[in-house]
Every structure is written in C-alpha cells, then in structure tokens.
A and B are shown apart, each in its own frame.
Chain A
C-alpha cells in the first residue's frame, strides 16, 4: 500500500516536472493546432515567415535582457536603449548624411555607453538592478526625446530651419529589417548567446554569479567585471534591436522601442522553464518570443480585437510564471 502511495506521488510529481520542462513547447503545439484548424492560412509558409519576422525585434531585445538576468540583474532600460539607437541611426543618415557604417557604429557606441552607465550605477550603489534601471530607462527615454526634439525623424522631414532634410537612408540599410535578413540576424543572435552562455567559461561564470553572488565572489570570480559585461551585452543587443527596428520602419518614431520592453520581459521569463533549464537562457527566450508571436498572430487571424490581446498575453505569462515558481518551491 505504501508503495502505491509512493507511486502515485511520484507520478503526480512527474506530471509537474513534465509540465515544467515541456509546458511551453506543449502550449505552442496546442496553439498551432488550434489556430491551424480554426484560421485559414495560419500554417501557410508566408504566415510562418510573418510570425518569425514579427518576433525578431522582440527576441533580439529579449536576448539582451536574458544576459542581464543571467547575472542576477534586470535591465529595464533595454526598450529605451532601442528607442535611442533607432533615433541615432536614422538621424545619422537623415540629418548628418553619414554612411551605413558610421550610422551603425555611433548607435552601437552610444548603447555601450548606456550599458557602462547601468553597470556602474548598479555595482557601485548596491541598489536593486530593477530599480536602478527603471531610473535609467526614464533618463534614456528622455534623452532620446530631447535628441529628436519630440518629433519623428524621416527622410525629407522639415528641419527647424524650414528646409527639408537632405540626407538619405542607404539602400543596404533597409535590407536589415526585411525578410530574410531580419530573421537571420535574430537566429544568429539567439545562437551566439546560447553558445556563449552554455559553452564558454564566461557564460558559466555569469550563471554562477546569478545563482549565488557571494559564493561566486569567494570562488574568485571577478563579479563586478562580469556584471559589467552582462550590462554591456544587454545594451548592445538592445542597440541591435533598435537598429533593426529603424531599418524596418525607416523612420525614428517617438518612443518606438518602449513597447518591446514588456514583451521582451515576458519572453525571457516564459523562457526560464523551457526544457527545465530553471534559469534565464537564450533558447528559452526565443521559445517564449515564439509563443507570444503565435498568440498575437493567431488571435489576429481569428479576428480577436487588438485591444483584448493583452489579456491573453498576460494570462499566458501568469501561467508560465506559476509553473516556474511552483516548481521552485517544490524542488
């Protein structure tokens, strides 16, 4: 009798374990099945490409966030950094007539400076990462607004002097944000960060710092240096996300990157549980973004009004978090 009880307990445990490891993938499969049968054309090749394209910017930004989560940080400023990168790269072309490389290099350099600032503030004042980067999020957002004077930057825009802007966005630049390049960039980012976190010394150190900063310090790991690296990477990927975004819309809208923040956070947290990793990981983040992308796309195809979409998105996030934390408590 005792063994029967044990068996039942073990089976119950296994169900939780299974849900935890494969729940996200299972959800994706179920969603694909449901949308595939209910919405015509959902499984068309063009729609699949469409979904991948739609998630690529979120994914790139979320990957940066994932790196900051890996060291136990939380970079809330990624959305603002993307906004700023977007504004800088477009303005370099339109306002200053710079070429492709200068435009991208300046945007990336500014994002790295943001990463440096974040890392400095977070490591030297012992303030919770989320609070500190919340503050820098506002600062960067404001900086981007100030820089663009609150206006949208686009080719042939009217300058304050009354003339038209003469700079042009290079043709090659517009390629970055279109299929297939946007998807290829996303996949390269996911793959390289996945490899970095799982197969290099530095990735291992980052996870150790995230898991137990005190033990990491006493093991001789240069904790501050790695936290700095994580914030640099986070800002770098936010910058790449902003540049790709710029290429996709070919303008710099006010706060263009801000909406990506919350989707990125959701993707990264849903990704925790993928394959039972139990920690922030690049592949999981990608799966999380895919889940969100399929949801949005399928719901649109089923003619669910856009204003109700966040209800579903939020519910999925709540479910994913519930599974992750339930598992943690009962480990």
Chain B
C-alpha cells in the first residue's frame, strides 16, 4: 500500500570539497520512484561524486537529503542502505567475491547482517531466496555458478539482485552500459523497466545520449560541480544537452604555432582487437598532431595499445614512413620507431621503485652501454640531467626514486623516456590525467615541440578543450570504431561530443 504513493528523493544544496578541489557546490537533485532519471555531465562534472554522497561513501558533505519528505541523514553506506538507496558502481568486480557462488553473492548483505544469533548457513534456503530474487527480476543465472565464471553483464545482474534483497527504493546505476554489448544492454533495459513498474526510482549515469532518451523520463545535467538543468528528458533535444554539458570555453594555455606538415609518416589499416577495437583506419603526417577523441570506454586506450603491439589479439597493418612494420610486441614497436606514453602512469608508464635517471634511460639503454651491455653511469647521468633540466622535472637529483615525485613530474619522466628515444611516432594516452595545471601546460608544449621536429603525434584524450587546443585533426571514437574524422579548426566541442555519444549529424 506504500507503493501507491511514489517515493520521492531530494538532495538539497549539497556541497563537498576535497583537498584542493570544490567537487560539488550547492547541487540540488531530485528523483521519483517509478521513473528513471538520467544524470549526465562531462568528465569531472561531479555526477559520480553526487551519487557517492547519496550512497554514503562520503560523510563530510554539507546540505540535506530528504526521502519522502523526511530528512534522511546519510553519512555512511549503511545509512544509505537503511534508507533504501542502493548503488551499483561501474567497477562491478570491486563489490563481488569471485570465488563464491551467485547465490552467496546475492545474499551477501543478508548473510552478513541478518544472521543475528544463528551460526549455521542454511544452503537450501540461501539458494531458494537467491533464486526467488532472480525470478522476480526475470534473469536467468544459475545460483550455484561461481561469480568468476560470469560475464560482466551477468555480474551486474547479480549486483542488482543483491540490491533487491534489501529495501530498494532508489537504485543508482553508475555507467552500467559502458562495457555491455547491444544485446546485454537490451536485457538491462528490460530490467530497468521492470523495476520502474515496481515503483523503484532508477538513477542512471551514462555518457551515451541515445540510450538515455530510450530509458529515462527525467534528466539532470551537471557541469563543474553545479546543477545546470533539470527537466523532463523529452523536452530537451540532444544537441541542447551537449551544449549544457559544456559551458566555459578554453583559455589560452595551448602553444600556438603554424605547423609545417610533411608526408604521411604513420598509417594504421584495419586495426581490429576483438571486443575492443573494430576496423580502425588512420593516418598521421609528419609534424601533425592528431587527436583521438571519445568518451571513457570508447576504445581509445585499447586502440593505442593495439597500435603499440601491447595487445596479443590485435590484428591489422601498421606502416611507419612507408615501411610496413611487423608489430607482435611493444619490443617490435619500439624498434620500429614507435613510442607510447600509457594512460595508467604508475602501473604502466614508470618504474616507481627506480631512480629518475634509470627511468629516463630505460628505453634507450643500449646507447649508454659499451660492447652492447656495459653501462656507463657517467653518460647516463649526463643524459638524464639534461632531460631533467629541459623538461623542468622537479626532483632533488637524478638518483631520487620516481615514487617520491608528484603526478605531473612522474608523467614528465614517462614522456622524457621517449624523448631520449627519439622515436618517429609518439602515441599519448591521456597524458594530462591527474596532472596539475602548470605541468599540463608543460606537457602541451612538449607535444607541440615534437610535432615541430617533424614527428607524428597521436594524442588520445577525453578532454575536449585539450583536443581543440592542441590538435590539427582528430578521429572521434565510439564503441571501438572511428565515428568521424574532424578538422580541428572547423569543429566545436558540441560536434565532437555529439559523435562521441553515438549521435549523428542532423
């Protein structure tokens, strides 16, 4: 009988700050039971932060949360669950226990919190309850299967099922469709519709505009930690959404230079990596900076890795300076004159336990080795010192460990390694991620400097101002394919974002 009156969730004047960042400033948000609410915004707009506040992940916000008109003081995940707010994060694996069965994972919360004085697990009942939840959701997953054997989509279903075992009045789905195939997305949508019919309010974070229009009734658009628009989704056309997401224009932090562009120096033909990249063709001229645009999960990183031979399952032709290259491994790629500055700096780009000097010379160690192996510390030191000075890396000495440098300086080390290598083709994957403003400008100048020296530069980024400020041309990726090739000076953030979100020109 409670179901008759739709549940109502209101967040009022929510603000939250982290060291150095005001992540949310006075955001109002409201959602209703029985409806799906789209939450959208560019990277760093604060949508995930807002939902984490709602889920009790951050306790130090200001503002109030009301559920059904009653104030609900949510400060911990437990509070949120008690008030019927459940969240399924994008990284499903962090919330699942892979070596337990589906049933155990679904009933996890209940097993932990509702056992009271009982010491024994009733396996029959556990599986029956889990089965009942799955049937209610109309999902077929065997309850005795181990979670580690499931597909990503099935894992999501298990997590949603876990939410259903609790009081679930509002369900937050954080970019649930990013890793899903078309068919899996369809199944998820069916489930969302079912939940709506049961009176659950679904809050749906996504970058993909078309699907938001398909499944959601309402929309909230955020930008720079603030609310921009809240309305019924049908009343806002797609290009308008994009316009709202953007706002403030770029400032003059990009190096301005006329570039002299030469012949095609780098070409990739029909690059395919099953499930990640699908038939990509691209070409970069000497002295040209080519952008690789696309949202998180569009396949930019996967493409970069495939081009660099870092994905064994990738196929396709790579041509450097007219010569076809056999790229079976990054080792081959480096010998062929390619360089990759990877996205995950600490995991893939630098050796945090080694010194700055050892990091800088890592890719060209042979140059400092007599008879092919005997290292000359003196030569190494000189080269490292020169690179440290020219990149302005802030480090006490070239013997300091990279672990002790700031993110921006670590990134400069990761780039410096390849500058010493003097490659023909430079691939950058989100090089300014997690880097402060000053270091960002330095990195832009480095990239522009490479182009000025006649190198081919491929620059993958999900930051639109960066792409517009730095590149000559760009390819827009969506779902592992190249949607569109754009000339930078004739395009706009709106246009890039439209293609990035799977939209098509009018």
Contacts and interface: CB of A to CB of B under 8 A. Distances in A.
Given A200-B369, A331-B403, A219 B363 contact: yes
30 contacts: A199-B375, A200-B373, A200-B375, A201-B375, A204-B362, A208-B354, A208-B362, A211-B352, A211-B353, A212-B350, A212-B352, A214-B348, A215-B347, A215-B348, A215-B349, A215-B351, A216-B351, A216-B362, A217-B329, A217-B331, A218-B308, A218-B310, A218-B330, A218-B342, A219-B334, A219-B363, A220-B331, A220-B334, A221-B331, A221-B362
A216 B352 CA distance: 12
A331 B401 CA distance: 11
Contacts of A279: 353
Interface residues of B, number: 31
A201 B403 contact: no
A218 B330 CA distance: 6
A207 interface: yes
Nearest to A214: B348
A222 B366 CA distance: 13
Contact of A219 (B330, B353, B403): B330
A32 to B, nearest CB: 32
Given A201-B372, A219-B330, A220-B363, A211 B310 contact: no
Main SS of the interface on chain A?
A: helix
Contact of A201 (B335, B340, B369): B369
* Nearest 7 pairs of A and B residues by beta carbon: A220-B334, A201-B369, A200-B373, A222-B331, A201-B365, A211-B353, A211-B351
A216 B348 CA distance: 8
Given A218-B330, A218-B348, A278-B353, 14 more contacts: A201-B368, A202-B373, A204-B375, A208-B362, A214-B348, A215-B342, A215-B347, A215-B351, A217-B331, A218-B308, A219-B330, A220-B331, A220-B333, A220-B334
A223 B309 CA distance: 13
Given A211-B353, A212-B352, A331-B403, A204 B358 contact: yes
A205 interface: yes
B123 interface: no
Interface in A269-291: 278-279
B144 to A, nearest CB: 27
Contacts of B329: 217, 222
Contacts of B348: 212, 214-215, 218
Interface of B: 308, 310, 329-331, 333-335, 340, 342, 347-354, 358, 362-363, 365-366, 368-369, 372-375, 403, 417
Given A212-B351, A215-B347, A218-B310, A201 B330 contact: no
Contact of B417 (A201, A202, A205, A219): A219
A111 B347 CA distance: 35
Nearest to A196: B373
Give chain A's interface residue range (CB within 8 Å of chain B): 20 to 34
Contacts of B330: 217-220
Interface in A196-246: 199-202, 204-205, 207-208, 211-212, 214-223
B93 to A, nearest CB: 18
Nearest to A209: B351
A212 B308 CA distance: 18
Contact of A217 (B310, B358, B373, B403): B310
A202 B375 CA distance: 9
B349 to A, nearest CB: 6
A163 B369 CA distance: 58
Contacts of A205: 365
Instruction: Report which residue of A199, A200, A204, A220 has the largest number of chain B beta carbons within 10 angstroms of its beta carbon.
Output: A220
A212 to B, nearest CB: 5
Contacts of B349: 215, 218
Instruction: Report which residue of B308, B358, B373 has the largest number of chain A beta carbons within 10 angstroms of its beta carbon.
Output: B373
A212 B369 CA distance: 22
Contacts of A207: 354
Nearest to B380: A204
A128 B329 CA distance: 22
B347 A214 contact: yes
B228 to A, nearest CB: 39
Contacts of B353: 211-212, 278-279
Contacts of B334: 219-220
A59 to B, nearest CB: 24
B316 to A, nearest CB: 19
Nearest to A217: B330
A232 to B, nearest CB: 16
Contacts of A217: 310, 329-331
Nearest to A198: B375
Nearest to B363: A219
B337 to A, nearest CB: 11
B344 to A, nearest CB: 8
A35 to B, nearest CB: 36
B359 to A, nearest CB: 9
B179 to A, nearest CB: 21
Contacts of A212: 347-348, 350-353
A278 B354 CA distance: 10
A57 B221 CA distance: 70
Interface in A134-152: none
A274 B466 CA distance: 47
A136 to B, nearest CB: 25
Contacts of B369: 200-201
A204 B374 CA distance: 11
B365 A211 contact: no
Contacts of A201: 365-366, 368-369, 372-375
Contacts of A223: 331
B498 to A, nearest CB: 33
A112 B365 CA distance: 27
B370 to A, nearest CB: 10
